[in-house]
Structure 1
Amino acid sequence: MSLSPSRKGTVPFGPYRTWYRVTGNLDAPTPALVVVHGGPGSTHDYLLGLAGFAERGRPVVHYDQLGNGGSTHLPHADADFWTVRLFLDELANLLTALEIREYVLLGQSWGGLLAAEHAARRPSGLRGLIVANAPASYPLWLRELAVLRGRLPDGVDETLVRHEDAGTTDSAEYLAAMRVFYDRHVCRLRPWPQNLTASFMEIHNDPTVYRTMNGPSEFHVIGSLRDWSVVDRLPSIVVPTLLITGRHDEVTPASAQPYQDLVPDVRWEVFEESSHMPHLEEPQRFTDVVAAFLTGLPPRSTAPRPATVEHTR
């Protein structure tokens, strides 16, 4: 169960607002755990359980990325408004606005790629990186997703392809076939946890960002991210890194392998009973693994200095 927030609100981001929530004390002697959610176009809700790390004396920061949840919605923004750079700037702005001098990033799914891109820029305040259930390359991931789709029960992928070709991905038949994939490779719990359902409902209520950057589903990526990769930036990550995947994850071992191969200081934990949401599917082991990683990081400096992150807005 998540703890009550000690602070929440919005910070200005240019003419927009970014919603945030803090659990614990940002002046604590341990670097803050800043949680970067997936999507793009999802919300913090499905990761809210991570607020429990505040019980261990570590402040936890959640936020909703621009376009969804409690942050400014822009349903009429042009497609070229939604860029990786926009969300990197938003993260940098949040760190500055909350005066977070030292921090660990935990990025889940798309948030893992965003966090890796941020880390590759070597911000001075970053002390560790957790990449959970994130491919390193969309082109590589799409090849792997095709393999997973081919293993679905007879007729399911044919139904998906038929609606994708026809542009009828909003149909009930497509959604039912999509759920077959999701129940295997996104979350294997029955029923889905309430917070996960809440995040998916947020995407449904305003799909602007998700459909523009990703597409109509997790496995049919036809948006602006379809050619994006962080592989060439991974050697620039200099902080200790924890890589997390699930045995049944839509992020297959091959699509996560570049992190293992190219990040200088990385360790990889595979959750045998999980798909894309080990923090929900194996919560106790997830907590233990992340807690051990956080405990092993260097202590906070005695004279912290502000994080120097790229910020252009």
Structure 2
Amino acid sequence: MATLSGHLDFDRPTAGKPCATWYEIHGDLSAARPLIVLHGGPGIPHYYLGPIARLATTHQIPVVLYDQLGCGNSTHLPEKNGDAAFWTIQLFLDELDNLIRGLGITEYDLLGHSWGAILASEHAVCQPPGLRRLILFSPPSSMKLWVEAANWLRHQLPRDVQDSLSRCEENGDYESEEYHASVDEFYKRFLCRTQPTPAELAASFEALGKDTTVYMTMNGPSEFNVTGVIKDWTIIDRVHLIARPTLLINGYYDEAQNSVVQPYFDNLKDVTWVKFAESSHMACLEERDRFIRVVGQFLKA
């Protein structure tokens, strides 16, 4: 399937320099309603979501992947590290609107994964006229519930790993090899259970390691200790404003445990919830074929 990539200017005067959003289109935007894909993080580029582009060939659904500002192939702003007034949810909502306008898209479906699901749900509650269907893939509904679920899963780790995490956190050693190794044990169980780590995910994490500006400013040092811009975020009181058919996806071993996803299911009018029994947070990598079938069927319904 032919692909087209490029950059769209994104005017943000407070950035202090010109900014651009990198995008990649799979399929023909004029042939069918496209699916726009929002990656997680914040600040973890799109590479790990690349397999979703298969929808362009399996279901003839054009797919738009892009890197949000501050990561991947889009403009990086390391000089804005720690600038909570700059790195806001609204910044990324404006970037999404700019992408939709810039690509001349009038009708579209939206898939957001993890942090990307925060953006997708915030976009949807505004009831944009072009949005037709919404997919919330391993979505937080509030960061309070997210952190509670992460810490519940943490207690399922081997005792020595739990002790290592606690010891490093007490000493503020978030950048130590010991802490990273212990977090990796959590990730192997509750982020992506496919081993060795899929190349797409390894590429995303390698890119994150080179520039943690967005992640550290908006999230904080770890999944267990969210101290950044989004620490108090919730959409539970506004979910009922989403007026489009919505597909919820999570995995049995997911960081987005049922307790995190349930508020969407309870408050949406037109909703389907599919759980992937062999997956954690990356069903698109852990159960690739089923993921494409489920998403494709929902978008074509």
- TM-score interval, normalised by the smaller of the two chains: over 0.9
* Deviation of 1:151 (Å): 1.6
Residue 225 of structure 2: aligned partner: 220
Q: What's the RMSD between the two structures over aligned residues?
A: 1.0
Would the aligned equivalents of 2:149 and 2:257 in 1 still touch at CA under 8 Å?
Answer: yes
Residue 5 of structure 2: aligned partner: 8
Residue 46 of structure 1: aligned partner: 48
Residue 68 of structure 2: aligned partner: 65
Structure 2 counterpart of 1:275, which letter? S
Residue 126 of structure 1: aligned partner: 131
| Count of equivalent residues | 292
* Deviation of 1:4 (Å): 4.8
Q: Distance in 1 between matches of 2:138 and 2:84?
A: 26
Equivalent residue for 1:169, pick from 174, 182, 203: 174
Q: Distance in 2 between matches of 1:103 and 1:217?
A: 33
Structure 2 counterpart of 1:141, which letter? W
Provide the TM-score with structure 2 as the length reference.
Answer: 0.95
Q: Distance in 2 between matches of 1:103 and 1:97?
A: 14
* Deviation of 1:218 (Å): 2.8
Residue 305 of structure 1: aligned partner: none
Superposed, 1:19-38 pairs within 5 Å as 19-28=22-31, 30-38=32-40
Q: Distance in 2 between matches of 1:156 and 1:221?
A: 20
* Deviation of 1:167 (Å): 1.6
* Deviation of 1:13 (Å): 0.5
* Per-residue deviation, residues 58-94 of structure 1 (Å, max 9, x unmatched): 1110000000011110001123210000000000110
Q: Distance in 1 between matches of 2:231 and 2:84?
A: 14
Would the aligned equivalents of 2:150 and 2:223 in 1 still touch at CA under 8 Å?
Answer: no
* Per-residue deviation, residues 37-61 of structure 1 (Å, max 9, x unmatched): 0000011100011111111221110
Superposed, 1:1-313 pairs within 5 Å as 3-5=1-3, 7-14=4-11, 15-28=18-31, 30-55=32-57, 56-77=59-80, 78-296=83-301
* Deviation of 1:232 (Å): 1.5
Provide the TM-score with structure 1 as the length reference.
Answer: 0.91
Would the aligned equivalents of 2:47 and 2:204 in 1 still touch at CA under 8 Å?
Answer: yes
Q: What is the SS of the residue equivalent to 1:79? A: coil
Residue 15 of structure 2: aligned partner: none
Q: Distance in 2 between matches of 1:206 and 1:120?
A: 31
Q: Distance in 2 between matches of 1:45 and 1:124?
A: 29
Identity %: 50
* Per-residue deviation, residues 242-285 of structure 1 (Å, max 9, x unmatched): 00000000111001100100111111000000000001100111
Would the aligned equivalents of 2:112 and 2:136 in 1 still touch at CA under 8 Å?
Answer: yes
Comparing 99-108 with 139-148, which one deviates more in the overlay? Answer: 139-148
* Deviation of 1:158 (Å): 2.1
The runs of at least 4 aligned residues of structure 1 exceeding 3 Å deviation read: none
Q: Distance in 1 between matches of 2:285 and 2:242?
A: 27
Q: Structure 1, unaligned stretches of length 5 or more?
A: 297-313
Q: Distance in 2 between matches of 1:158 and 1:222?
A: 21
Structure 2 counterpart of 1:12, which letter? D
Q: Distance in 2 between matches of 1:228 and 1:89?
A: 18
Q: What is the SS of the residue equivalent to 2:275? A: strand
* Deviation of 1:166 (Å): 1.7
Q: What is the SS of the residue equivalent to 2:135? A: strand
* Per-residue deviation, residues 146-186 of structure 1 (Å, max 9, x unmatched): 11111211122221122122221110110111111000000
